[in-house]
Amino acid sequence: MTTFFVTGGAGFIGSHLCDRLLAEGHRVVAVDDLTTGRIANLVEARGYSKEFTFFNMDIRAEGLLQLFERHRPEVVMHLAAQSGVRPSLTDPAFDASVNLMGTLNILQCAVETGVRKIVYAASGGTLYGEPRKLPVKETAAASARPLSPYGISKKVVIDYLSFYERHRGIEYTALALGNVYGPRQDPHGEAGVIAIFTSSMLAGATPTVYGDGRQTRDYVFADDVVHAFALAADRANGKLINIGTGIETSVNEIYRKLAEIVGFAPQPGKGPLPPGELRRCSLDNALAAEALGWKPWTHLVDGLGETVAFLKGI
């Protein structure tokens, strides 16, 4: 049995990860400040009783070290973040406070308590900036220029992880995630067009498509992403690895597919494209197959169907 420390554990991806690790027989300690995470996401995890512990805590808090000292995790799954592009443009200092200083707090706690490895949720949709070639490979990160403070902070953390590996002996794997979607995604946040469109359609409201809708993303299902985290606990040390499908899907196509599933007839509303948004993105996943033994297995239509079914039920 391994003890895992999951930051952002009550969040959309983090809660699914807690469920997966517990189902595999591990012990999980989760922290989340509940800014975007929800206690309701932890219903399944709380059913594991003593094997699961949750703390409502900011990753920047001084008390974090006490949790590390008490529970002595072997692996940290670091998903907690300020995860919005637009908020980072408005308040870069807050973005850096959470994503950089919060991460440094975790890294220092890890050093002081003998953590073996950190698996980090990087952002494949922002850290590469506007890719010159698609699907983008991990080697593009070295010369990338992110378009937002959020992307910058996600890129910089990888350099910190490399430093802590060389000088403090902590292994790491950074997973550059595509646009993750699936059950439990917050339909009221900015980072989930699938959840936003679906919740609007189910409520009979017309969603807004920003820009011309031809901008593309690499949409990857939450369960597939969780599988990558689980594999990375013991593999791919010292590597940045893309976790995506390698397929570009436009916002317009997402709208059409969801409208068909929901049975929604109206055409979308239109709005201006926000600043800091990429035009196109897809992630080369060859290294994920080689270093992790990972590949995506959920087809987009199937994943959309599961997401719609979940949002219908809440």
Q: How far is CA 39 from CA 13, 43, 205, 226, in A?
A: 13, 7, 27, 19
**Spatial separation of the C-alpha atoms in residues 124 and 178, rounded to whole Å:** 5
Cβ burial, residue 285 (10 Å; 0-12/13-18/19+)? buried
**Spatial separation of the C-alpha atoms in residues 185 and 107, rounded to whole Å:** 27
Among the listed residues 252, 179, 267, the one whose alpha carbon sits nearest the alpha carbon of residue 212: 252
Encoded amino acid at 82, one letter: Q
**Spatial separation of the C-alpha atoms in residues 77 and 257, rounded to whole Å:** 33
Please tell me which residue in 48, 150, 172, 181 is annotated as part of the active site: 150
CB atoms under 10 Å from CB of 23, counted, come to 12
What are the φ and ψ backbone dihedral angles of 262, each rounded to 5 degrees? -75, -30
CB atoms under 10 Å from CB of 120, counted, come to 25
**Spatial separation of the C-alpha atoms in residues 175 and 288, rounded to whole Å:** 9
Please say if 164 is a catalytic residue: no
**Spatial separation of the C-alpha atoms in residues 225 and 94, rounded to whole Å:** 27
For residue 208, give both structure tokens.
């807004």
Q: Which helix (H) or strand (E) holds 54?
A: strand 52-56
**Spatial separation of the C-alpha atoms in residues 117 and 120, rounded to whole Å:** 10
**Spatial separation of the C-alpha atoms in residues 5 and 67, rounded to whole Å:** 9
Among the listed residues 176, 194, 177, the one whose alpha carbon sits nearest the alpha carbon of residue 185: 194
Helix (H, G, I), strand (E, B) or coil at 192: coil
Encoded amino acid at 187, one letter: P
Which residues have a catalytic role annotated? 150
